[in-house]
Amino acid sequence: MFDAPGSSPEQAFGVGELTTLVKQALEGGFPPLWVKGEVSGFKRHTNGHWYFSLKDAAGQLPCVVWARDTRRIPAPPDEGMAVFARGQLTVYPAQGKLQFMVDALEAEGEGLWKKAFDALKAKLDAEGLTDPARKRRLPRFPRTVAVITSLDGAARRDIEAVVRRRHPGVHLVLIGAVVQGEAAPASIVAALDRLARWGGADVAIIGRGGGSREDLWCFNDESVARAIAACPIPIISAVGHEIDVTIADLVADLRAATPSVAAEHAVPILAEVQEHLRRLGGRLADALEDRVVAERRALLTQLERFTLRATRMVERRRARVQQVAGRLEALSPVATLSRGFAVARDADGRTLTGRSAFAVGATFDLLVQDGRVHARTESIHDDAPHLPSRA
């Protein structure tokens, strides 16, 4: 006779044996599936696991999210929040309890994503990291542009094409990074660290092409945001499409709608740079020419002033010379002689100025206006018609 397990006290199951069997049956009967309901009694355990129940009007389902799976969920759900949970139905044998092991959790609409985004944004806002005043000016004429993205992504090709079209001489340096999935934040942070340590780029573009919200989520990661904010090189963020705004966009120095637009912001058009240089050269030449003209004018003015002054000086001197000459003339014996006076001199040329200088019989010369008269002293007298008579 065959007794089925559990059909008699002799065939009784051990508790653990049975709960394990139930667990196996449950797991075999239910593949991973989505359940919707309202969150109730959410609790975050110190070991990192999350516990809560999903319920609706008719039932309740105990749920757990293991710590490693919580990392994929943008934010913990709020009490009463309507959510969709994906997981595996099982039994927790130690408590004989039905348990739903959740590995993905989504709120209706933007729910959890928006919550996580808003929370991080508020935190970074409070620290001033999203302050527009922090944003650095991009270099107008970069020679080297770094690109942090997936080496085999569309973003990289778009950026290369735009850069080549605008300015074939600009160097591109690619810094490969994982830009989706769980490894992405750490990979992007490492790429930013390389960019900073290398230091050879004038500006950097960080981003990726379009994707699902989950794909782009690494650009809402706090560590990525902080690495961008701390990067010594100006950063242009370019994540997904026009409508996708990420935390990375808020802390970057410039947000570009797409990677192609980022490349346009980063790199000037070569012809425009050449035109700019040409204009600068023109300004230099004009400025110098103006300067030379001005100097020449100043020099001519100086020369004129100098000539005028020199002429005046010569005239003044000439007038003085004439004045002195007049005075000299007045003092000159020649002038006196012309008035009829004569000067007596002895043979040695000494002027005979009084009676005592004469001797009777001695000869002397009389200098007159137009020559010399040799004379002899006949007699000497103390009276003269032009002198008052001596008392």
Residues 51 and 43: beta-carbon distance below 8 Å: yes
Return the residue of 36, 71, 213, 283 that touches another protein, per CB under 8 A.
283
Return the residue of 22, 98, 104, 173 that touches another protein, per CB under 8 A.
173
CA distance 164 to 266: 12
Minimum CB distance to another protein smaller for 295 or for 315: 295
Q: How far is the CB of 132 from another protein (least distance, A)?
A: 23
When asked if residue 174 is in the footprint of another protein (CB under 8 A), the reply is yes
When asked if residue 163 is in the footprint of another protein (CB under 8 A), the reply is yes
Return the residue of 54, 195, 250, 252 that touches another protein, per CB under 8 A.
195
When asked if residue 170 is in the footprint of another protein (CB under 8 A), the reply is yes
Return the residue of 67, 284, 293, 380 that touches another protein, per CB under 8 A.
284
Q: Where are the extended beta strands (E) located within the chain?
A: 33-44, 50-55, 60-65, 82-92, 97-107, 144-149, 171-176, 203-208, 235-239, 254-255, 343-345, 363-368, 371-376
Return the residue of 15, 119, 122, 151 that touches another protein, per CB under 8 A.
151
Q: How far is the CB of 64 from another protein (least distance, A)?
A: 39
Q: What are phi and psi of 173, to 5 degrees?
A: -120, 115
Residues 225 and 236: beta-carbon distance below 8 Å: no
Return the residue of 15, 119, 288, 359 that touches another protein, per CB under 8 A.
288
> CA triplet 374, 377, 381: central angle to 5 degrees?
140
Q: What are phi and psi of 261, to 5 degrees?
A: -65, -35
The candidate with the shortest Cα–Cα distance to 201, out of 164, 236, 239, is 236
- Which range touches another protein (CB under 8 A), out of 96-104, 248-256, 276-284, 300-308? 276-284
Pattern of binders to another protein over 102-141, x per CB under 8 A?
-------------------------------------xxx
Question: CB-based contacts of 289: which residues, under 8 Å, 6+ apart?
Answer: none
Q: How far is the CB of 288 from another protein (least distance, A)?
A: 5
Please give the residues from 48 up to 67 whose contact with another protein meets the rule CB under 8 A: none
Minimum CB distance to another protein smaller for 294 or for 300: 294
Structure tokens at 272: 């425009």
Alpha-carbon Rg of the chain, whole angstroms?
Answer: 57
When asked if residue 168 is in the footprint of another protein (CB under 8 A), the reply is yes
Minimum CB distance to another protein smaller for 198 or for 306: 198
Minimum CB distance to another protein smaller for 151 or for 375: 151
Measured in whole angstroms, how far is the alpha carbon of residue 347 from the centre of its chain?
103
CA distance 343 to 329: 17
Q: What one-letter code names the amino acid at 174?
A: L
Return the residue of 102, 172, 178, 238 that touches another protein, per CB under 8 A.
172
The candidate with the shortest Cα–Cα distance to 40, out of 26, 21, 61, 25, is 61
CA distances (Å), 55 to each of 33, 218, 313, in order? 16, 31, 115
Q: How far is the CB of 278 from another protein (least distance, A)?
A: 9
Q: How far is the CB of 203 from another protein (least distance, A)?
A: 10
Query: How many residues in the shown chain lie near another protein by CB under 8 A?
Result: 40
- Which range touches another protein (CB under 8 A), out of 4-12, 114-122, 212-220, 291-299? 291-299
When asked if residue 273 is in the footprint of another protein (CB under 8 A), the reply is yes
Strand, coil or helix: 141: coil
Strand, coil or helix: 68: helix
When asked if residue 197 is in the footprint of another protein (CB under 8 A), the reply is yes
When asked if residue 171 is in the footprint of another protein (CB under 8 A), the reply is yes
Return the residue of 76, 142, 153, 185 that touches another protein, per CB under 8 A.
142
Please give the residues from 202 up to 221 whose contact with another protein meets the rule CB under 8 A: 202
CA distance 331 to 316: 23
CA distance 304 to 294: 15
Minimum CB distance to another protein smaller for 6 or for 200: 200
Applying CB under 8 A, the residues found at the interface with another protein are 139-143, 146, 151, 160, 163-164, 167-176, 194-195, 197-198, 200, 202, 270, 273-274, 276-277, 280-281, 283-284, 287-288, 291, 294-295
